[in-house]
Amino acid sequence: MAAITRLVKRTTTPFYSLARGFSSTNTHAPPSQNRNIQWVFLGCPGVGKGTYASRLCKFLGVPHIATGDLVRHELSSNGPLSSQLSEIVNQGQLVSDEIIMNLLSKRLADGQAKGESGFILDGFPRTIKQAEILEGVTDIDLVVNLKLREEALLAKCLGRRTCSQCGGNFNIASIDIKGENGAPGMSMAPLLPPEHCMSKLITRADDTELVVKERLRIYNELSQPVEGFYRSRGKLLEFELPGGIPESWPKLLQALNLDDYEEKQSAAA
Ligand code: AMP
């Protein structure tokens, strides 16, 4: 766990264009020094990448960059890519590497202009090609691979709700998997919205049963190999979610050696 402690050390880095990495063959990042953490969250649709990545980002003070959010933002902007994107996303397919690299580069450049440093990437890379491009332009310190019992994934996607006013993310699914054949049971309480959000809840267009099943299939085919890519580089931390947020969050902090992070920060100050 010493390596992970080292990664958590605060540092700052310049950003550079990821799109350059897409179009050029040999664009390497300058050696990173004094930079903030650069982590990636991997995992199947519905596993909770967004929930845990955004919590960790608040905790560590780094930006949470979810390529799914960038895609949805582009979709709702009614720009030139909107209709093409909506067809792809609503069928559960992956957007082209080129479009994703452009959206991500722009997000990183905007962040750089605002003085952001470091990130947790959520939903990227999703293909080996994307992982190779990322590796060509910067060093990723750590990749957290979130895992959840397969029976819970579909229910979690179908239970997902967002408040159209405050943007809060909730989940109305109540998961109770019985222990069977030696495997332990698992329960996850719903994450219910407050009363004032109730009438404003929306469901993602790609969170239907048919589309979620297709997204899970695509994950297994194209994104799961990314786990092996990082495992072979010694960067993968596997984390099996033991239940809902109350059980999982403290265990995740422990696995990341962050359970006494605030104490360590003040001791180092
Ligand atoms: P997510 O919110 O991560 O589930 O992403 C929603 C949708 O955006 C995905 O089903 C894809 O269509 C698209 N998308 C997000 N990230 C990527 C990526 N890295 N590569 C390709 N498509 C992506």
Q: Token pair for residue 14?
A: 């310049």
> How far away, in angstroms, is 126 Cα from ligand 1 center?
8
Q: Whose CA is nearest to atom 1 of ligand 1?
A: 68
Distance CA 121, CA 119 (A): 6
- What is the 3-state composition of the chain as percent helix, strand, coil, each rounded to the nearest 5? 45, 15, 40
Residue 254 has a CB neighbour count (10 Å cut-off) of 12
Q: Per mean pLDDT, which range of 103-112, 173-182, 202-211 is the poorest?
A: 173-182
Strands 64-66 and 119-122: parallel
Structure confidence by residue, pLDDT tens digits, 225-237: 999 999 999 999 9
pLDDT at 264 (0 to 100): 66
Q: Token pair for residue 17?
A: 């264009």
Of residues 40, 47, 46, the one with CA closest to residue 66: 40
45 lines ligand 1 (CB under 6 A): yes
Q: Whose CA is nearest to atom 3 of ligand 1?
A: 68
> How far away, in angstroms, is 139 Cα from ligand 1 center?
22
94 lines ligand 1 (CB under 6 A): yes
* Ligand 1 atom closest to 215 (CA): 10
User: Which helix (H) or strand (E) is 101 found in, with range?
Assistant: helix 97-113
Structure confidence by residue, pLDDT tens digits, 178-200: 888 888 888 999 999 999 999 99
- Terminal alpha carbon distance of the chain: 22
DSSP 3-state of 57: helix
Enumerate residues 6+ apart whose C-beta is below 8 A from 28.
136, 137
> How far away, in angstroms, is 182 Cα from ligand 1 center?
35
- Taking the model in full, what pTM does it have? 0.85
Confidence of residue 11 (pLDDT cuts 50, 70, 90): very low
The answer on pLDDT for 23 being more than 50 is no
